[in-house]
């Protein structure tokens, strides 16, 4: 058995990616953000305060004949960007890309932070990280993928995120036609709940890869490529107008700049992110100043290969073999 779901960028900056998910009987379809950086499936619901819920699609467990309250269970989560949510827990059937998990923990939000209230294009998240990262207490719950893995043809999923076009999340199979290059595999470290891995080196503008390894996470729920200052500086030294903008909290440059590419080595392959993918967006509508897709990870404490990096590749999240595969797109 397999599943295949389309995913679409939320806006012109590819800030996040939206995938439709069916929950309950009859199906209630919600637009959710698939996030390999966390391990909770949570949704805006009939239990979310009306003032916070407006503009969002809601899950109503009372309208689902297969919903069951997981009595005594609660959840609370805070994300890297300081957004947060919390609530109680139901189990229900959850179908993604045609594949159904009958008894999936669906975490219902009774509280959401302002960022979520304002982000009306999504009604929650599907955590695709490792189960160890789940935030339900007293008994942590499994992710949708973890519940599905044993029934899927292969215990893996792939992410094919694209710049300003429809991409896909495929479950249980690898569609190699989505990639140009060979898939290079490297061990994945799931001990923190993330999909951790080590890149073997990097280069700017098509130069030969150096051997400076970079340990980080493959994170579909983070917009940017966040790396150490020495790498960020080495890259922007090639961009004449680049400067740090305090108000934007990142490096900006003239939108007319011809940005160099950025490459990293992984599993014996080289993944090259084109200069175009490294220009995220004008800092505001119509501005000729643009915000960089590569920014510093210095004040985060972890390097994140987010959507800017993932857009350059077909990425295989292989739970069965505890490894990550990367292929140039």
Ligand X SMILES: CCCC[C@H](NC(=O)[C@H](Cc1ccccc1)NC(=O)N1CCOCC1)C(=O)N[C@@H](CC1CCCCC1)C(O)(O)C(F)(F)C(=O)NC
Q: Which residues bind ligand X (CB under 6 A)?
A: 15-16, 33, 35, 37-38, 79-81, 83, 115, 119, 219, 221-224, 300, 304
By the 8 A CB rule, do 94 and 102 touch?
no
How many Å apart are CA 319 and CA 313, to the nearest integer? 18
Report in angstroms how near the CB of residue 25 gets to ligand X at its nearest.
28
How many Å apart are CA 167 and CA 310, to the nearest integer? 11
Q: Which of 40, 119, 219, 318 is catalytic?
A: 219
Report in angstroms how near the CB of residue 46 gets to ligand X at its nearest.
21
Cβ proximity to ligand X: between 67 and 253 the closer is 253
Name the helix (H) or strand (E) containing 294: strand 294-296
Cβ proximity to ligand X: between 154 and 163 the closer is 163
Q: What is the token pair recorded at 121?
A: 């294009």
In a 3-state reduction of DSSP, which class is residue 98? coil
Q: What is the token pair recorded at 177?
A: 């036609």
By the 8 A CB rule, do 145 and 171 touch?
yes
Cβ proximity to ligand X: between 124 and 172 the closer is 124
Report in angstroms how near the CB of residue 216 gets to ligand X at its nearest.
11
Cβ proximity to ligand X: between 38 and 261 the closer is 38
Report in angstroms how near the CB of residue 57 gets to ligand X at its nearest.
16
Report in angstroms how near the CB of residue 10 gets to ligand X at its nearest.
6
User: Is 35 designated active site?
Assistant: yes
Q: Which of 33, 35, 92, 318 is catalytic?
A: 35
Cis peptide before 26 (omega within 30 of 0): yes
How many Å apart are CA 266 and CA 198, to the nearest integer? 7
Would you give the DSSP letter of residue 276? G
- Which residue of the chain is nearest ligand X when measured via CB? 37
- Cα-based torsion angle of the residue sequence 125, 129, 132, 134 in order, rounded to the nearest 10 degrees: 0
Cβ proximity to ligand X: between 9 and 325 the closer is 9
User: Is 219 designated active site?
Assistant: yes
The residues assigned a catalytic role are 35, 219
């Amino acid at each position: 058995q397999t599943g295949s779901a389309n995913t679409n960028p939320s806006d012109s900056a590819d800030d996040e990616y939206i995938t439709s998910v069916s929950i309950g009987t009859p199906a209630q379809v919600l637009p959710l953000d698939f996030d390999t950086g966390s391990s909770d499936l949570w949704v805006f619901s009939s239990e979310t305060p009306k003032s916070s819920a407006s503009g969002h699609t809601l899950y109503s467990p009372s309208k689902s004949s297969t919903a069951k309250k997981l009595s005594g269970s609660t959840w609370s989560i805070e994300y890297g960007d300081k957004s947060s949510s919390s609530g109680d827990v139901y189990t229900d059937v959850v179908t993604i890309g045609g594949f159904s998990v009958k008894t999936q923990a669906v975490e219902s939000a009774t509280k959401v932070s302002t960022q979520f209230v304002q982000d009306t294009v999504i009604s929650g998240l599907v955590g695709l990280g490792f189960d160890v990262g789940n935030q339900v207490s007293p008994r942590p719950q499994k992710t949708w993928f973890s519940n599905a893995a044993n029934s899927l043809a292969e215990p893996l999923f792939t992410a094919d995120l694209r710049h300003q076009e429809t991409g896909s999340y495929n479950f249980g199979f690898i569609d190699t036609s989505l990639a140009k290059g060979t898939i290079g595999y490297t061990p994945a470290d799931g001990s923190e709940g993330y999909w951790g891995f080590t890149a073997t080196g990097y280069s700017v503008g098509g130069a030969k890869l150096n051997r400076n390894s970079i340990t980080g996470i493959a994170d579909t729920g983070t917009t940017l490529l966040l790396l150490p200052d020495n790498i960020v500086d080495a890259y922007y030294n090639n961009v004449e107008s680049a400067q740090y903008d305090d108000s934007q909290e990142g490096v900006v440059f003239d939108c007319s700049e011809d940005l160099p590419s950025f490459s990293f080595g992984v599993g014996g392959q080289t993944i090259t992110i084109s200069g175009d993918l490294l220009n995220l967006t004008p800092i505001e509508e119509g501005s000729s100043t643009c915000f960089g897709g590569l920014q510093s990870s210095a004040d985060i404490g972890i390097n994140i290969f987010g959507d800017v990096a993932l857009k350059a590749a077909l990425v295989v999240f292989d739970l069965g073999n505890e490894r990550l595969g990367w292929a140039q797109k």
